[in-house]
């Protein structure tokens, strides 16, 4: 099979019908800092840089309400200590699906939580 030339993932996009509330949640709960905001009829939202990954939270006309198929996709935030970050986020009112646990196939720990729109997000790192 011929190589199609994929080199990297440039961004993670999260669409919402109430993107401003979702952006506020990511700022308040996770402490993310806004890199840029766009307010264009065909491209409205907010961009964050998380390490070297661009995270976009924006308005989409085809997205309504909270995510009803939460297990379809998930992304990870890398942290030094999953248990410590879990405690901090729990104190901030973040709802978790899974408490910190050791991965069965590697020496890494995970904890899984819901964002404001019911998207699943994971922490990954050391214990």
Q: Are residue 61 and residue 79 in the same domain, yes or no?
A: no
Angle among Cα 85, 88, 92 to the nearest 5 degrees reads 135
Confidence (pTM): 0.90
CATH of the domain at 29: 3.10.180.10
**Domain count of the chain?**
2
- pLDDT digits over 63-110, tens only? 999 899 999 999 999 999 999 999 999 999 999 999 999 999 999 999
Quickly state the pLDDT bin for 120 (edges 50, 70, 90). Answer: very high
Q: Are residues 1 and 61 in the same domain?
A: yes
Asked if 70 and 47 sit in the same domain, the reply is no
Residue whose C-alpha is closest to residue 70's, from 17, 10, 8, 114:
114
Residue 91, domain extent? 66-127
Query: For 11-65, what is each residue's pLDDT tens digit?
Result: 999 999 999 999 999 999 999 999 999 998 888 999 999 999 999 999 998 999 9
For residues 45 and 99, membership in a common domain is answered with no
49 and 77, same domain (yes or no): no
């Amino acid at each position: 099979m011929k190589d199609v030339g994929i080199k990297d993932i440039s961004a993670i996009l999260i669409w919402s019908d109430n993107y401003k509330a979702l952006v506020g949640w990511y700022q308040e709960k996770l402490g993310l800092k806004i890199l840029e905001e766009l307010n264009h009829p065909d491209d409205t939202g907010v961009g964050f840089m998380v390490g070297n990954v661009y995270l976009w939270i924006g308005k989409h006309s085809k997205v309504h309400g909270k995510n009803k198929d939460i297990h379809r996709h998930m992304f990870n935030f890398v942290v030094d200590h999953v248990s410590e970050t879990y405690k901090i986020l729990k104190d901030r009112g973040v709802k978790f699906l899974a408490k910190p646990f050791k991965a069965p196939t590697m020496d890494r720990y995970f904890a899984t939580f819901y964002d404001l729109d019911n998207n699943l997000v994971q922490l990954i790192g050391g214990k």
